Amino acid sequence: MVFYAYISETRDDNTWRIVMAFADSSTADEWWRAISGSNNSLLADIRRVTPEMYIHNAAVFNVYNFFIDTRITDISQKFKGRLILTLQNDRGGRGINIFPKQRVTDLVSGNWFYIRSSVDPEMYWHYETKGGYPRISVSRTGRSLFCVTATNVPSRTVMIGSDTVKLSMWSAGNVVIDSEGLLTNGVQAQWSFTFGDLAAGRFVPTDSGLLFDNIDNDGPKRPGWELVN
C-alpha cells in the first residue's frame, strides 16, 4: 500500500514543502536507511522526525532534486519507480495535500513491540507457561511484548528487511528454538532471523515453530506477521 510522508524546509517552513509517496512503508524505511547511512555530506542535513515527517535544508541539498542531482545517483537510482516527489504550495499559497490516515509502526531497533498476524489482526504472539513448559503461542486472548533488536546495525537504527534480528521478552529472556523446533525462552544460543522473513512467514525452519492456541485452520494457512505498538 502506498505510504506518504511530508518533508519540510528547516530554515523557514515556508518553501520547498514536499509530499513523498513511497511504494510502501518498507520502501520509506529503506530510503531513510540509504540517506542516513550515506557518507555523502550533501545528505547530512536530512532528518527523520517520525515515519511520516522529515526535514531538509534546501540550501544544502533539496530533496525535490533527488532524482536529477547526479551527485547522489548511487542512491537515487535504487528508488526510481518506488518513490514520487510532489512539490507543495508555499505557505502563502495556503494549500497542501493531506494524505489519508495510515497505520504505521516506527520500526526502531531495540524498541518493544507486539507481534500480530498480518492476515488476521486479532492473532498475537503470546508467551505462556502450560504444564510447567514455557512456550510462545499464537492467541486471540493474550499478547506479549517482544524487544526486537537488529544485530548488524547500531542501536536505535530503523530496521529494514535485510537486517538480522533477534527477540527477547521482558523478565523471560531471549527467544530461542528448543530441541523440538518450538519457539520458547532459554539460555542456549539466541535464535536470529532476517527481519524481512517475519512478514513473509519464513522466520523458522519448519511450519511448527509456533503453537496455535485453540485457533482453527492454523499453521501455514496464516503466514505473515507484523510489529505493532
Which pLDDT tens digit goes with each residue over 12-28? Answer: 878 899 999 999 999 99
**What pLDDT, on a 0 to 100 scale, did the predictor assign at position 94?**
60
pLDDT band at 85 (very low <50, low <70, confident <90, very high): very high
Mean pLDDT (whole number) for 139-146 = 93
Which pLDDT tens digit goes with each residue over 151-193? Answer: 999 999 999 999 999 999 987 889 988 777 778 888 777 789 9
pLDDT band at 96 (very low <50, low <70, confident <90, very high): confident
pLDDT value at 214 more than 60: no
- Which has the higher per-residue pLDDT, 90 or 59? 59
pLDDT value at 108 more than 70: yes
- Which has the higher per-residue pLDDT, 213 or 147? 147
Closest CA to 63 of 33, 94, 31: 31
Closest CA to 221 of 205, 201, 203: 201
**What pLDDT, on a 0 to 100 scale, did the predictor assign at position 211?**
62
What does R_g of the chain's alpha carbons equal in angstroms? Answer: 21
pLDDT band at 218 (very low <50, low <70, confident <90, very high): very low
- Which has the higher per-residue pLDDT, 138 or 74? 74
Tell me the pLDDT of the chain averaged across its residues.
88
Cell of 108: 526502531
**What pLDDT, on a 0 to 100 scale, did the predictor assign at position 19?**
95
pLDDT band at 219 (very low <50, low <70, confident <90, very high): very low
